[in-house]
């Protein structure tokens, strides 16, 4: 009985909540090497980001405003469904004053033992919209 209790406590101690990843993404986004963020995204999200990046005129992504330096948030809900999760936060503080008190929803997915941010569908929808418009959104000559 004692060994089971010790094992159970050890497993709980190692467990990470999906919402814990958001703070790690914020630190990576504001570090010297923003590519460090990739380790907190699902593999499919990274592939979708690379495809999306190719469609941009300068092949560069803008920083993700949701993880701006100085932003702080509270977790409103966190629901875990085996290997996926949903996390909703509310910003307590944000450099962009319009973001304060805004609720933001994140989808998370477990890869191995780690929770990762899953933006695959959102990014692929953006790619679909850009392709569906014949890339007119990227072509300044149509303005």
CATH of the domain at 115: 3.10.450
pTM (predicted TM-score) = 0.76
> How many structural domains are present in the chain?
1
pLDDT in the model for residue 102: 93
Domain that holds residue 21: 17-142
Q: pLDDT tens digits for the chain (143 residues)?
A: 444 444 444 444 444 899 999 999 999 888 877 678 889 999 999 999 889 888 877 777 777 888 989 999 999 999 999 999 999 999 999 999 999 999 999 999 999 999 999 999 999 888 888 777 645 555 554 44
Burial class (CB in 10 A: 0-12, 13-18, 19+), 25: buried
Residue 11 domain-assigned (yes or no) = no
Instruction: Please provide residue 59's backbone torsions phi and psi, each rounded to the nearest 5 degrees.
Output: 55, 30
Residue 136 domain-assigned (yes or no) = yes
Pairwise CA distance, residues 131 & 124, whole Å: 10
CA distances from 53 to 111, 126, 131 (A): 23, 11, 13
Residue 25 domain-assigned (yes or no) = yes
Pairwise CA distance, residues 106 & 95, whole Å: 20
Residue 111 domain-assigned (yes or no) = yes
């Amino acid at each position: 009985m004692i060994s089971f209790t010790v094992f159970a406590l050890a497993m709980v101690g190692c467990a990470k909540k999906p919402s814990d990843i958001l703070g790690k993404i914020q630190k990576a986004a504001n570090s010297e090497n923003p590519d460090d963020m990739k380790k907190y995204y699902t593999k499919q999200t990274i592939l979708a980001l690379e495809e999306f990046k190719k469609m941009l005129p300068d092949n560069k992504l803008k920083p993700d405003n949701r993880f701006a330096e100085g932003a702080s948030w509270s977790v409103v809900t966190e629901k875990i469904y085996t290997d996926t999760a949903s996390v909703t936060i509310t910003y307590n503080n944000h450099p962009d004053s319009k973001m304060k008190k805004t609720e933001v929803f994140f989808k998370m997915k477990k890869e191995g033992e780690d929770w990762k941010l899953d933006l695959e569908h959102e990014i692929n929808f953006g790619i679909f919209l850009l392709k569906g418009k014949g890339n007119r959104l990227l072509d300044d000559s149509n303005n």
